[in-house]
Amino acid sequence: MGDKCEKNMHKNVCDLKAMVKAQNKRIDELIRFIKEGSQTDIPQELKSCTCNLNPYLECLNPDILHHLNLDTKTIDFPKVFGDVRFVCLGGSDARMEKFANFIIGEIGLKLSIAVHLRNISADGHRYALFKVGPVLCASHGIGGPSISIVLHELIKLVHHAKCQDPVFFRMGTCGGIGVEPGTLVITSQPLDGQLRPVYEVVVHTQPQLRPALLDQALAKELIALSNPCEDGYDTVLGKTLCANDFYEGQSRLDGAFCGYNPQKKMCFLQQISQMGIVNMEMESTAFAALTNQAGIRAAVICVAIINRMEGDQINSPASVLKDFDQRAQNLIARYMRKVLFKCDEDDIETCQCDDAPGCH
């Protein structure tokens, strides 16, 4: 057996041990909960971790989360969603269903072959929502307005459910600026189309500028979990330009309309590249502003499906795009495993493997 193989097997055994230990611990907690009943931490005793929320929410009985097809009258939010620790968002329903099925195995859960995941919000006909243990997976559609609506409802969901310090992720695709297709980009600072670090919301005809801030420590933790040599692709941290459009808003020459020439386009791309912008997408400012306002830790991880310095049309084969799509999912899964199985000091002690993923 080669060195690399042996090292991988060692890592897998180590991961497995940590997972079994964490699950045993969880079973002990459940047994204790059954024995001691209401004397233990029952979800109702916990407080919501969100801040700055609408004061009128408390007057709503029930609160109807229309687009997610959920309401606080027919659903016991703390009971159904109280254990949620990660909320993952991505553009399409299909991507999020795939991610939900992928994450089952990644966090050590198992579904009977007779069971399949249900889209909880299917009857809302707008967004998809799946729950896999402590992970909620939601689609957000395209652009700021679409992600804003689902975020309002997801933030209310974690508030009503009293979820404890949930972490939100947006995973998606982007246009790279001077980076190879396939590069994973973690956003340090999203900027809007006018290069401002804000999300503009027009209220009563007046523009309000909400700070679009992401958790810097979380971004660094994520980059530390990447491993370019083993992954076979780069993961970089940089600024993201969040446009309101895929075509003119991102200086493409292939939209139905175009009011500039190729020289103007290249000049713009070079200018933003010099400012430290490494990618363009369409949701990061809204995502960062809403999560920041609610006091929720959040990160944006997108894979570049094109280098915009080299063209506008996405012409990679479907199989390549499928492989790219998996990359943000892998990094998020690594982070979740680290949080769920490795952060406990007991678990770290049992893990004799210095170079297990996530142990650094």
Note the residues at the interface with ligand URA (CB under 6 A): 173-175, 246, 250, 280-282, 305-306
Minimum distance, C-beta of residue 245 to ligand URA, in the bound complex (Å) = 9
Minimum distance, C-beta of residue 213 to ligand URA, in the bound complex (Å) = 21
Closer residue to ligand URA, CB minimum distance, 243 or 299 = 243
Closer residue to ligand URA, CB minimum distance, 51 or 314 = 314
Minimum distance, C-beta of residue 227 to ligand URA, in the bound complex (Å) = 25
CA distance 208 to 199: 8
Q: How many other β-carbons are positioned within 10 Å of the β-carbon of residue 99? A: 26
Minimum distance, C-beta of residue 114 to ligand URA, in the bound complex (Å) = 38
Chain centroid offset of residue 225 CA:
15
Q: How many other β-carbons are positioned within 10 Å of the β-carbon of residue 228? A: 12
Minimum distance, C-beta of residue 137 to ligand URA, in the bound complex (Å) = 20
Closer residue to ligand URA, CB minimum distance, 46 or 142 = 142
CA distance 92 to 183: 20
CA distance 206 to 204: 5
Q: Sort strands 297-307 and 167-176 into parallel, antiparallel or unpaired.
A: parallel
Work out the widest C-alpha separation in the chain, in whole angstroms.
72
Closer residue to ligand URA, CB minimum distance, 227 or 316 = 316
Chain centroid offset of residue 353 CA:
28
Minimum distance, C-beta of residue 171 to ligand URA, in the bound complex (Å) = 12
Residue number with the smallest Cβ distance to ligand URA: 175
Closer residue to ligand URA, CB minimum distance, 144 or 358 = 144
Closer residue to ligand URA, CB minimum distance, 176 or 358 = 176
- Report yes or no: 291 and 147 within 8 Å, Cβ to Cβ: no
Radius of gyration of the chain (CA): 21
3-state secondary structure of 42: coil
